[in-house]
A and B are shown apart, each in its own frame.
Chain A
Amino acid sequence: MEDRYLVLQCKRGCGDALAQIYAKYRKDLLILATVLLCDRAVAEDIVHDVFVHFAETVPTFRLTGSLKGFLLTCVANRARNHNKARRSVIPPLTNSAAEDKKGPVEHLLGNEQVQRLVQALNQLPYEQRETVMLQMYGGMSLRGIAKKLGLSPNTVMSRYRYGLGKLKNLLNGDGDR
């Protein structure tokens, strides 16, 4: 609510307005980053960087769409850069890996079904996971995602279609077929 007003207050240097924006979206951003990167510490760093950058650039920032969509895209962009920098695809979280290393399942809360969803999301290729999360969790349109990520709508559409199909299969228990 009132994001445009809060941004305007931030432009005037109002710390309370920035705190309100942070309180409103921090959880969504942290969940997105954690699901994308399977690493809580890196996810926190990314959310930190996004908010600090937002605070630095707010005097020249112009809100044209939804603020939530903008911040989620910032997180997704930084997460992708981080992913590329690691120069390796994040390994799927197998049962043994889950025992060895604290993955997103341990950080993200929810009932058994939610835990299964996180496990399933984690088995998707990174690009598909990113598109599915932005669309289904962030509520962004596929066209909007394509525009914000600088990709063609067809690419985003197919990533979403394949990602969703695989996710459904995994949740229905036939992911190995």
Chain B
Amino acid sequence: MKRDKRIINLMRQLDIDIDPGMDQQILDSAQERLTIATNTPSAVSQSGAWRIIMKSPLTKLAVATVMAITVTALFHQIGRPIDQVVWGDELSARLKTIPCFSYRMVTEFDGPLPEGKPVRVEARIYYSETLGVRKDMYERDRLVMTYYSIPRDKICLVVTPHSKKVLRRPYSSGSAEKEDPRRLVSEFPLEDQEPLGETILDGIEVVGRKAGGMRIKNYQTDDTEACLWLDKATGLPHLIEIRGTAAQESMQIKTTFDRFDWALPVDPLLFEPNIPADYQVEDRKASVVNPELAEEQLLAGLRVFSQRTGGIYPSSLSGMTMVLEFGQHKPKKLGEDTSKNTVEDVKTTFLALTRASRAYATLAQKHADVAYYGKSIKATDTKSILLRWQSAENQYRVIFGDLRVEELSAEHLAELEMVIQNP
């Protein structure tokens, strides 16, 4: 039934004076009941259970043993006084012992976007070592997607309420890792860290460090810079901010991880997919980058890009830049009118671009001394280096402008690069 917009607009303007006294009274009563409701039952049942357990000498011994194991485990988990702030591997090791947590992730895009205004996407993520991951994603306060990664069933589900669809993919350990902010912490480069000092954020005393030039797997921006703020009292992350650019700095991207709850109780219901019966389920193949095929996927993406943009390459290989710059160059399929491009063709092209970007991230993580010259090299520059990385000691893998691949010695590479720098 069609709704009357005029009436809805008027209804939205309805307002009412709130009496602060009444407000406080309602809140006080509700909070008092909440305290009783959340404390009383557990206190009764726990003390009751405790009395029963402690009646038997045998169970006394068993309980004492379990308690000793628990205390030892906790000691090992924490490893040091909790108020001590540690960084690097020590921090990663501390975070790895946390079995269940949640946090908020906000990503803000600003630049040449289709709607002409900044886009903000917010997600609340719940992570459990045993039950998997749940991610509720919101756009303008509307739930647009829920993602589940379920190790028990070996599946990942993407539920989109708007289209009433569920995409089902095979589970991979990378699916859970992708949503784990602890990975960001472990990738925070030790050598580049700049102290940010101490401050108070959200009423919490924090101490921060900043790192630039980060190569974070799956974080597809250029000039990435990250700030990590640790809660001084717990030594655990309180805020992580990542800023990056794309498409030669025309797009600014900021991602914030905050509202961490590092002591989230394990609630299986939270990780259980709740899918209405009328939703349509589609099966998809896993889209994981195979390190063995990374080079092949990267070449395929670069080929698609240059063929459809008249022989140029993206200025960087971050996913965002590849897609944006591809869009800016009126993509043209060789020998065909763009108007005849099918939706499937567009999908395949963008899949190739994003795969190439992820493949590059995989290669860049695996190999040292990676350099990309896409800003100045075209497909016609057959003797110029487009991309190179160290494949072995004194040995480099080199991709030329025409996407030819060769293995070169370090000396030979130096000679070629000298030509690029001094043409």
Contact = CB atoms under 8 A, between A and B. Distances in A.
A164 B31 contact: no
Range for the number of chain B residues in contact with chain A: 35 or more
A174 to B, nearest CB: 16
A78 B277 CA distance: 31
Interface stretch (B20-28, B60-68, B77-85, B152-160): B20-28
A58 B40 CA distance: 13
A145 interface: no
- Most B-side CB within 10 Å, residue of A34, A35, A137: A137
B137 to A, nearest CB: 11
A170 to B, nearest CB: 11
Contacts of B33: 52, 55-56
A175 interface: no
Contacts of B8: 136
A1 B16 contact: no
Interface in A125-167: 135-137, 142, 157, 160-161, 164, 167
**Chain A contact surface mostly:** helix
B15 to A, nearest CB: 4
Contacts of B23: 26
B16 A55 contact: no
Contacts of A111: 13
A22 B4 contact: no
5 contacts: A13-B35, A31-B15, A35-B14, A51-B27, A58-B37
Given A4-B124, A8-B264, 19 more contacts: A2-B104, A5-B102, A9-B261, A11-B38, A13-B34, A22-B27, A31-B14, A51-B29, A51-B30, A52-B29, A55-B33, A56-B37, A58-B37, A110-B10, A111-B13, A113-B10, A114-B13, A118-B14, A136-B3
Interface of B: 1, 3-4, 7-8, 10-11, 13-19, 22-23, 25-27, 29-31, 33-39, 41, 102, 104, 122, 124, 136, 138, 141, 261, 264-265, 267, 269-270, 274
Q: Which 6 interchain pairs have the tightest Cβ spacing?
A: A13-B38, A55-B34, A109-B15, A55-B30, A55-B33, A51-B30
